[in-house]
Structure 1
Amino acid sequence: MASIAGVSVPVVPSHWRVLAVAIGCGIVAALVILWFVGLPIVAAGFAAATLVITGVLIAARLLFPRKDVRSGEPDWTVANAIAAVASDAVALTDRAGRLACANDRYDQLFRGYPTPPNLPIDAGDTERLGSAGRTAWRDGEATASVVAGGTRVDVTIHRIGDTMLLWRFAARDSADVVTTAIELLSGPQGDRLGEAGIMAALLSPDGRVRIANRVLRMRAMGHDEGAIEGRDFARFLITDAGGMVRFEREGLSGNPLRVVEIPLLESHDAPMLIALLDEEVPIPVPAIGSSAASHVRSLVALMPVPLALVDRDGRFVHMNDAFQRAASIDAAAPPLYPGDLVVREDKGALADAIRRFAGGGGYATQLAVRFNEKPDEAVHISLTGARGLGDAAVLMGIKGNSEEGRLKNQVAQATKMQAVGQLAGGVAHDFNNILTAIIGHCDLMLMRHTPGDSDYDDIQQIKTNSNRAAGLTRQLLAFSRQQTLRPQVLQLPDVISEVSNLLKRLLGETLELVVQHGRNLGPVRADPGQLEQVVVNLAVNARDAMLSSHPNGGGVLTIETRSVTAADVRRLKNDILPAGDYTALRISDTGTGIPADVLPKIFEPFFTTKEVGKGTGLGLSTVYGIVKQSGGYIFAENIPKAGALFTIYLPVHSSAAGAVTQKVPPKPKSGETWGSGTILLVEDEDMVRAVAERALTRQGYTVRTAENGEVALEVLGDGPAPDLLISDVVMPTMDGPTMARRVRARFPQVPILFMSGYAEEQLRKSIDLDNVAFLPKPFSVQQLAEAARDALATK
């Protein structure tokens, strides 16, 4: 029943309403026919037929009712259960682009349930993923590769029927890089690389082949089915006189090869990917967007080392994530040219190198540049010409910005400094022999001239200049740690106090000197005179830097001493400074600091930033040598918004009571140098031997000479023992200590005086004899006579 205006009305079924309407229509139609035809029988038949047809339709409706088909959402229970057990991230979308279902791995990877291709990835990956989805609707399946959350993800898309797309996201682990590379080289992709002219192999850390693509096996072994795995890769290659690499099987007539090494992982024992490219034979370049070029880019993207591809016009073609991180590149606004990454001073050199390699010149090079984001930190960029890589013409990598690269640079710098030190020491030694002869001859000539003679002043000037040259050689020996030191146990504040008055005069009235001493300073063992020279040299450099930046004065030179314990050293995390107790000396200024490109070179001899004639470049090298020879360490750095800072670490001298020994005043010596007796003089330099012989003869000695140790033993023969043996230390055929030991075997009491241009401390290691004196070169006639007198006095 239905209620209408408060009155209950029975509800009539719909088929009875249809029958009532049909009867009414039949009666109306019969009346119309009767009106026009005038025959009652015809009109009644028409009405009856209408009623029969309507009744048949209603009966059929009642006998066969229509099923109620209602639209609703499908049951996704089974699909969700299948997705939940999948190891990869899985999602299902419909034709309208709506997400139908996804598993928990999908939620973990994308931090929610976004609908593909609108995932939290960069715009370029989103576009590639959308294109792959459209391809899957058309072709049934498609693949793509994107980066999600810093992880490389391989995407596989399958069409299910005509209404659904199944998306599968497989995250790629770094540990799977080697497996992926093996699959890449051994499968059809390796053949595609070969068609592009790229021979590739994966080598184990010991240089043996793990896998190689077909074209490399063919070129290296003569057939593509050869068992190349496990063999030494270097045995397949030879190098000609010009440094060109060729296959050993093809001989010197074969095509030269370019070898490109690509480390897969950071570890030193990780496999290495090797690519070989023909140098002379033109290699077919794959077209833009071809499968070979895309696989090369995918391979570059896999590499954990910073790599980028640059085209012939000098523009970036592709860069992997490691390159973007190393160069601090904003992925939303990547640079167009490599020169956009570096500071203005380095743009020209980098652009020229890329242009040269893009044109086919050169094999490989490295450039030291500074990025805009880190202008004070130099990094090394490696450039290699590339062929057969599609648009790319240059392979670009970043080196030296890691801890390993920094340590390698430090080792290389230390090795270079050691080599330069050895060279400087050898030059200084030979120069000392020459100066000994010059100074000795000047002394002998001055004995025959008196002040007022026409030649006296000239001889004196020659001797003065020779002494200045001797000072330069002492600086070279100081740098090479081969000078003669007289170390004492002392306190650094005492050394600073001795030199403070001199420093105030050097700085003048416009600059301020501040001295600060720490507590509990340990004693150090060093030559006080040489330490004073270290402080003076550093102070003079600081003064010049402050006067150049503050012409009107106002600069401050600060000298500090402090105690540094082994725990403090460990907290510094310095790879050069070993753990131990030190007394540190810090000298800082308020100048402009040291330029970044100058800082690695400041301790090299003859390197100076001053104008020509204003400096020899030996000041800081002398400081470096004195500190190192004293067993210490020196570091230079820039203070932010201040100046330069030099820090010297001297090891604390350990003794039983920890007391500081005092300087022992030298015993007064008599001015008389005349003597008598026989002296055996052994010296390989003729000019030094001649001067020493004449000087000792004039003092009253009988001198017998020899040019090396063997001749000296022959001169002695079976004769009596000499009263004194004077010998050079380093000589050809037989050196001084070896000869002296043989002489002492015959004459145990004979005194020995060694002379040398090298440091006494260094030579003492090879001299294991008692009652031995030492005279450093260059020396004067007076010094030689006094040394001979003192040595004879010990007999």
Structure 2
Amino acid sequence: MLSATTGAEPPRAMLGIIAGAALVSGALIFLLLGTPALALGFACGAAAVGGLFLFSRANAAAAPVERSVQDWALTRAAIERDSAAVAVTDRQGRLACANEIYGSWFQGFRAPGELWLPNTATAPLLEAEQTAWREGSAVIERLQREAGQLRVEVERAGAGEDHLVWRFRPVSSVDLVNEARRLIGSAAGERLGEAGIMGVLIGADARIRGGNRAFALRATGSAEAAIEGRDLATMLTIDKRGLIRFEREGPTGGPVRLLQVPLDPDERGGSTLVFLIDDDGAPRLGEGSASSHIQTLLSMLPLGFALADRDGRLLFLNEAFARAAGLESDAHPVYPSDLVVREDKAAVADTVRRFASGPPMSGDIAVRLQARPDEPVALSIAGARGLGDAAVLLSLKDNAEESKLKRQVAQATKMQAVGQLAGGVAHDFNNILTAIIGHCDLMLMRHTPGDSDYDDIQQIRANSNRAASLTRQLLAFSRQQTLRPQLLQLPDVISEVFNLLKRLLGETVTLNVKHGRNLGPVRADPGQLEQVIVNLAVNARDAMPEGGTLTLQTYAVAAADVRRMKSEIMPTVDYTALAITDTGTGIPTDLLPKIFEPFFTTKEVGKGTGLGLSTVYGIVKQSNGFIFADSVVGEGTSFVIYLPVHKAEAKPAAAPAQPKERPAELWGSGTILLVEDEAMVRAVAERALTRQGYKVVTAANGEEALECLEAGETFDLLISDVVMPTMDGPTLVRHARVKYPDLPILFMSGYAEEQLRKSIDIERVAFLPKPFSVQQLAEAARTALAAK
């Protein structure tokens, strides 16, 4: 914080006026009263009062002026301790600051308006941003993303209110703390008090958040007293014998027992529901009206509660407990250990008996339920006293939704990691294949059909092209394949591959095609979409060895239909769907979640690579679509692909783009600077360009290329790899453009062009994907030089 203080002195003219007024008033007093001492004192007092007033005015005018400078390091240190994802943006919508949680949730630090979310999820963010700038704050109750839903709070802040603070919090299905607080202060809490049970809800700091009237009466002497915010520990006292009493009642008050129910067992220091029961005078469970009151209360609570006796037998359990335990409607377990798997039965039984016979205490135990053996849950157990036969209170939290979200996040993380691995492997293979294909092309220039080596070289080249198609499948799975999307209709795509499908399916499989009405256009790569249909059709054929029927059906899915589907990952927009259904052997239920994983196949060894469905999945996801599989063993399998309907903005009709003609003559002249860190690729590219008439200067990395540029030689074209050690291609080009702003650039890389263009902000560059042939390299170089 920078501050500056300026002082100001009272003007001399004002001092003179005050002094003159004081003398005149003193003279008047002397003339009227004739007392010199009184006149002198009055004149001095008037002068003092005027001087103080003038001095205060001067100091007020010279108040310190503080000027603040935003300290983003301090801001970041503050928001790092927040449990929510926090981001700060400026007036231009740029990200100024964010915590690590924000970066991990959204896979990078982008402004909220630029997050990679489903199509319809970004619109509420932009609308909330406008509302916050206009009104000061905005809230999005539920923002959809792949891993679940978020609540978004946007607030205008800063000294000049020139920044927005964004907070993203997960939306939980049930707020147990607020539900318990509401119920304990309602009629249910009153009925609990009538049964002699005092209830109070405390937070992590042991301060009261709510309680029933019975507790307020015993703790303060008045049922209407305000108890929220007070420390529960100060209201209770414990004597040498360990008996707990109310502080207000003193040592003569009746002792009480505490029963603690943690509401947030997964969080350290969460909220706790505390029941206080008179040690002697509380009604017993099963005696009089207390039994019905307690069971009615436990039945109303949204928490899963159960009561067990000293022998561990279950006396009562509410619907929430049965639902969390995964019990059927007609199931009646005898012991709590009946709910868990065999390995956990002994631990649960021992814990229940220990809590039932020992001193009052509570704790959690991790168990695996028989209904969900793969998902450990927390079973809270607390000793109960004063409830008759009931000696143990058990609590079970229904965390099915939380577990589902965890599985989705784990699956998404695994698929992302495998995709990155697949993309990296494909990139390295593309370098190797570029060298193999290039050397084959150079050898074919020296051999003619009929030579003894000609057929062998052609076979090597054909196998290399097959390997290149395999790398394209890996890139498709990792969503890094170069796509050429265009507007199309699904029936047109199916008609293009209909004859091919008939040949692939053979005589034993019947192909049926059905098209719905009012199908909207979709934006996708027609070639890749044809590959999706062919892959699914071939899989269906292999699943019907004795023959069967394959049905391809297209139909429209309106946004209202998507809303009724209650999908957690599909945005609510219009779709055009394609269902591919066969009558084959089907897929077992335990294998169905794994079918889109790479290298997973149910076929025999040597009959499948395991990349067919993973390629289909990658192409559909890269086209902003969704694919789901449903199968019944012995009846068949159905794959449904949903592609969003493309709604283009109204634009004036433009003349169709004319396809670029390939240059008839590939020979050229000029000097080319070739930059490639892979020696085998650099060697074949140098030989290929030299044979076409170019002078080629090579460099193994970006530093060597800069030295060549600074040596003074003039280059007509720069051909560079994108990913290189120490200095990559884009960095090299930015340095080169400083001295040679008109130098043509040709990038070559094994990664997808779309991915590279998103990360490379350089104008007037061409792109050549690996692997490429000698002719393709010559054509790309000729085209780049012609565009100079």
Taking a change above 3 Å as real, the CA distance of residues 327 and 358 of structure 1, as seen in their structure-2 partners, is closer
Percent identity over paired residues: 62
Match of 2:416 among 415, 418, 422: 418
Shift of 1:415: 3.0
SS in 1 for 2:681: helix
Q: Is the 8 A contact 2:717 2:743 kept in 1?
A: yes
Shift of 1:399: 5.5
CA distance in 2, matches of 1:750, 1:180: 70
Which residue is 2:400 aligned to?
Answer: 401
Shift of 1:497: 0.4
Shift of 1:758: 1.0
Which residue is 2:685 aligned to?
Answer: 692
Which residue is 1:542 aligned to?
Answer: 540
Taking a change above 3 Å as real, the CA distance of residues 392 and 169 of structure 1, as seen in their structure-2 partners, is closer
Q: Is the 8 A contact 1:367 1:382 kept in 2?
A: yes
CA distance in 1, matches of 2:621, 2:316: 48
Which residue is 2:546 aligned to?
Answer: 552
CA distance in 2, matches of 1:609, 1:174: 57
Q: Is the 8 A contact 2:529 2:619 kept in 1?
A: yes
CA distance in 2, matches of 1:397, 1:211: 25
Q: Is the 8 A contact 2:585 2:633 kept in 1?
A: no
Greater mean deviation of Cα atoms: 565-574 or 486-495: 565-574
The alignment yields a C-alpha RMSD, in angstroms, of 5.4
Match of 1:646 among 627, 639, 644: 639
1:602-681 residue pairs with structure 2 within 5 A?
A: 602-638=595-631, 643-656=636-649, 666-670=659-663, 672-681=665-674
CA distance in 2, matches of 1:507, 1:662: 41
SS in 1 for 2:689: helix
Give the counterpart letter for 1:515 in structure 2: V
For residues 412-469 of structure 1, what are the alpha-carbon distances to aligned partners after superposition, in whole Å with 9 as ceiling and x for unaligned?
Answer: 3223322322222122212222222232233334444455555544444433333222
CA distance in 2, matches of 1:618, 1:778: 20
Greater mean deviation of Cα atoms: 691-700 or 461-470: 461-470
Taking a change above 3 Å as real, the CA distance of residues 647 and 705 of structure 1, as seen in their structure-2 partners, is same
Q: Is the 8 A contact 2:582 2:638 kept in 1?
A: yes
Shift of 1:672: 3.9
Which residue is 1:757 aligned to?
Answer: 750
Which residue is 2:765 aligned to?
Answer: 772
SS in 2 for 1:765: helix
Shift of 1:585: 1.9
CA distance in 2, matches of 1:629, 1:182: 54
| Gap regions ≥5 residues in structure 2 | 1-187, 216-227, 239-243, 246-259, 275-284, 286-293, 352-363
Which residue is 1:733 aligned to?
Answer: 726
CA distance in 2, matches of 1:711, 1:535: 48
CA distance in 2, matches of 1:609, 1:664: 45
For residues 478-522 of structure 1, what are the alpha-carbon distances to aligned partners after superposition, in whole Å with 9 as ceiling and x for unaligned?
Answer: 011101112222211110100111122222222222212222222
TM-score, with normalisation over the residues of structure 1? 0.56
CA distance in 1, matches of 2:651, 2:632: 35
SS in 2 for 1:703: strand
From the CA coordinates, give the structure whose radius of gyration is larger.
Answer: 1
Give the counterpart letter for 1:721 in structure 2: T
Which residue is 2:377 aligned to?
Answer: 382
CA distance in 2, matches of 1:665, 1:756: 27
Which residue is 2:580 aligned to?
Answer: 587
Shift of 1:410: 2.8
Shift of 1:176: 10
Shift of 1:642: 5.0
1:22-61 residue pairs with structure 2 within 5 A?
A: none
Q: Is the 8 A contact 1:588 1:644 kept in 2?
A: yes
Q: Is the 8 A contact 1:488 1:663 kept in 2?
A: no
Aligned residues: 540
SS in 1 for 2:442: helix
SS in 1 for 2:465: helix
| Gap regions ≥5 residues in structure 1 | 1-150, 157-167, 187-203, 218-223, 226-259, 276-288, 290-296, 342-346, 372-377
SS in 1 for 2:686: helix
Shift of 1:689: 1.6
CA distance in 1, matches of 2:589, 2:411: 15
CA distance in 1, matches of 2:391, 2:470: 54
Taking a change above 3 Å as real, the CA distance of residues 704 and 316 of structure 1, as seen in their structure-2 partners, is farther
Taking a change above 3 Å as real, the CA distance of residues 264 and 680 of structure 1, as seen in their structure-2 partners, is closer
| 1:484 partnered with 2:482 | yes
Shift of 1:628: 1.5
CA distance in 2, matches of 1:588, 1:672: 50
Q: Is the 8 A contact 1:309 1:396 kept in 2?
A: no
Give the counterpart letter for 2:588 in structure 1: P
Which residue is 1:8 aligned to?
Answer: none
Q: Is the 8 A contact 2:200 2:208 kept in 1?
A: no
SS in 1 for 2:400: coil
Which residue is 2:521 aligned to?
Answer: 523
| 1:787 partnered with 2:780 | yes
Greater mean deviation of Cα atoms: 726-735 or 406-415: 406-415
Give the counterpart letter for 1:468 in structure 2: R
For residues 693-719 of structure 1, what are the alpha-carbon distances to aligned partners after superposition, in whole Å with 9 as ceiling and x for unaligned?
Answer: 122122221111122333212211152
Give the counterpart letter for 1:749 in structure 2: D
CA distance in 2, matches of 1:364, 1:671: 77
Give the counterpart letter for 2:525 in structure 1: D
Which residue is 1:351 aligned to?
Answer: 342
For residues 354-391 of structure 1, what are the alpha-carbon distances to aligned partners after superposition, in whole Å with 9 as ceiling and x for unaligned?
Answer: 5699899xx987869757xxxxxx97343789999999
Which residue is 2:461 aligned to?
Answer: 463
For residues 605-640 of structure 1, what are the alpha-carbon distances to aligned partners after superposition, in whole Å with 9 as ceiling and x for unaligned?
Answer: 112222332222111111111111122222223479
CA distance in 1, matches of 2:454, 2:460: 10
Shift of 1:309: 11
SS in 2 for 1:695: helix
CA distance in 2, matches of 1:678, 1:394: 85
Q: Is the 8 A contact 2:573 2:644 kept in 1?
A: yes
Give the counterpart letter for 2:673 in structure 1: L
